[in-house]
Chain A
């Protein structure tokens, strides 16, 4: 871990204003923010660890536990909401057997909601690893995962 962190730090001067970009890059590297990494960031920027944690926990982008291999984000923006995003989310939760914010037992999928991905014309929409799938119905969501698993095998 140390070397990978050094690699991230090497592109920065070590001022506290760099905290958010550093957190983003560390998360990009590890998939989440390990506690040890946050302590290293605090030492590198010469700020208290509490400041690092305060900032990391304030912003929705940061996570403190590892992700599944694939990220599923169900959009719950307004357009998606009025077109049945709740039902799509219910459907995906049933198919994957997890609730929002959780990872499947096999570590395959992490299920999240996102406030709006700006594809309102495709509502309701979800993304699997940044690929958008639109105009979904709960049944369509079912099929998506059946198909997704096949194509990945």
Chain B
């Protein structure tokens, strides 16, 4: 960035791209190119800036002006008003939901205020497709200074001082793995980066690969030097085409500049990285399954007892396997010092945690917070609370291996140990907020459906246990639950967790066990009363039109896909409960000023009474 230059940063994270941010960038470039500003203004693409809810985002630096919900039509205004005349375009600013007043700088927006961006410090600042931008913020300096040392012992000492725990979810101290791999016998070793981000509801690793790919490559190279490996693999989901593309661009640029390949920076050390596309198996997030997958085999976790991956890993060689975020932290820790890092966070969990905040929360997005922050602060201060005046019900972390925590746990500090104690887990970083309309039995069913599909089938407990639990949960959500189902679910769940080999199986029952622990009343309402308190389970709800509110506008009748709504214009409509498939299209179609369609708990079909 030249001095006196103003930068127009166009967010091109996946979400802003789906809001047409590529076209916005092109339009901005065109608009600037023909003017006197050309040369003083740079238009550049950046990775995810985090505030996905308000995208597409255009940021003007150095003022830090944050334009939200930008469209191609807004480009003229931004260029003429802001860049030429120095007038901020007020209508595109974020408006404080309480006061309604516009906020120009993103530093002043509460969503950003409570965050501590370490890992994401470059995301939304540099162009991920330009290595010079990375070098401009001190990129590859940590690698350069590491390569001047005789061996990796100093790196190991810093890592130990930092107390960094693996960011894949397990939370194993990173330095222990690195030391074990360094000490393992063998001339050939591998470094593997796990970017198989399979948790539904998680996009942190993806955002880092898309926004700061060189940090991951630098961390892997440092790891290679430390443990004595010359080859690295990044195992990334094929479902992330943009991340794959940016990684390939980054690898190519790093090779050409001598930061990857043979004799890196004239040090004599050689290290190269290959991208491996995961083919869509959740279980491959498990380390032994992942390495088998790279070998061209089915990803079946290896049987225990087995040697550690650091001793016998990829192609039976010692292998250091870490998550994207763990590697991306390494250059920062070496630059700032391990002790500096260890001053952030809590006693047992150092540094920051990255979350993909989503679900029923005002501000969805990519966030980074110091360990130890409470769930409440994340959800209400950063996330802006639950939208549409609905009540909070639960927060889910840890994906299919984690759990749902109720309101009474909102003051729980977010760190590895506290979440585990509460029955959930840190996981890789998905955080889904659920409001009062979410049925917790259905959430358990949802996760079990996922785990049952993804079970590799090796362990009987996991293969049959997830199937059994899913069947019972399906029955309960259909209103066919029986007394004793809950006790049986707990019994099977505990057996599945105890009797499975890998992390997927050992945690498969967690969503069921935590929802039973904290939301037992909802299970009972389904089983005993035949009703879904959240009015979500299709078999246990009905729709009806309130005669005193209906004005006979025909909108619901037109929307109904099965012609179940009778009634003339200007006369009250009636739903034929026998035909109704409970799709909710009528409820959606009815204008909110009338709200004449009511969703009720219990069945009205077959002339039955409301339960």
| Interface residue ranges, A against B (CB under 8 Å) | 15-21, 23-24, 54-55, 58-62, 76-79, 81-83, 87, 90-91, 94, 114-123, 125, 130-134, 137-139
Instruction: Enumerate chain A residues within 8 angstroms of B276, measured Cβ to Cβ.
Output: 20-21
Among residues of B, the one whose C-beta sits closest to the C-beta of A127 is B18
> Are B206 and A24 closer than 8 Å at their CB atoms?
no
Query: Distance in Å from the Cβ of B378 to the closest Cβ of chain A?
Result: 15
Q: Which residues of A contact B489 (CB under 8 A)?
A: none
In the complex the two chains form, is B279's CB within 8 Å of A23's CB?
yes
- In the complex, whether B184 has a CB less than 8 A from a CB of chain A is no
CB distance from B532 to the nearest CB of A (A): 14
- Known contacts A58-B299, A87-B584, A139-B588, A120 near B203 by CB under 8 Å: yes
Whether A16 lies near B296 (C-beta < 8 A) is: yes
| 6 A-B pairs with least C-beta separation | A121-B52, A78-B201, A120-B358, A118-B203, A59-B279, A60-B280
- Once the chains bind, are B280 and A59 in contact (CB under 8 Å)? yes
Q: Residues of A contacting B281 with CB < 8 Å?
A: 58-60
Chain B residues engaging chain A, CB cutoff 8 angstroms? 14-15, 17-18, 52-53, 55, 197-203, 206-207, 238-241, 276-277, 279-282, 293-299, 315, 356, 358-360, 364-365, 396, 399, 430, 432, 434, 438, 443, 446-447, 450, 456, 559, 561, 583-585, 588-589
B14 near A119 with CB under 8 A, answer yes
Given contacts A17-B294, A82-B438, A132-B18, contact A121 B200 (CB under 8 A): no
Q: Once bound together, how far apart are the Cα atoms of A23 and B360, in whole Å?
A: 39
Q: List 6 A-B contacts (CB under 8 A).
A: A16-B296, A55-B296, A118-B240, A120-B364, A121-B55, A122-B18
Which B residues are in CB contact (< 8 Å) with A55?
A: 296-298
A76 CA to B443 CA in the complex, in Å?
Answer: 12
Using Cβ atoms and an 8 Å threshold, which residues of chain A touch B55? 121
Q: Which residues of A contact B443 (CB under 8 A)?
A: 81-82
Whether the Cβ atoms of B296 and A18 lie closer than 8 Å is yes
Contacting pair A138 B583 (CB below 8 A): yes
**B residues near A81, Cβ cutoff 8 Å:** 200, 443, 446
Query: Chain B: which residue is nearest A57 at the CB level?
Result: B298
Q: Are the CB atoms of B295 and A17 closer together than 8 Å?
A: yes
Q: How far is the CA of A119 from the CA of B364 in the complex (A)?
A: 10
New A-B contacts (13) at CB < 8 Å, excluding given A58-B298, A61-B238, A120-B364: A19-B297, A20-B293, A61-B279, A61-B280, A79-B201, A87-B584, A91-B583, A115-B200, A115-B450, A116-B201, A117-B14, A118-B197, A130-B241
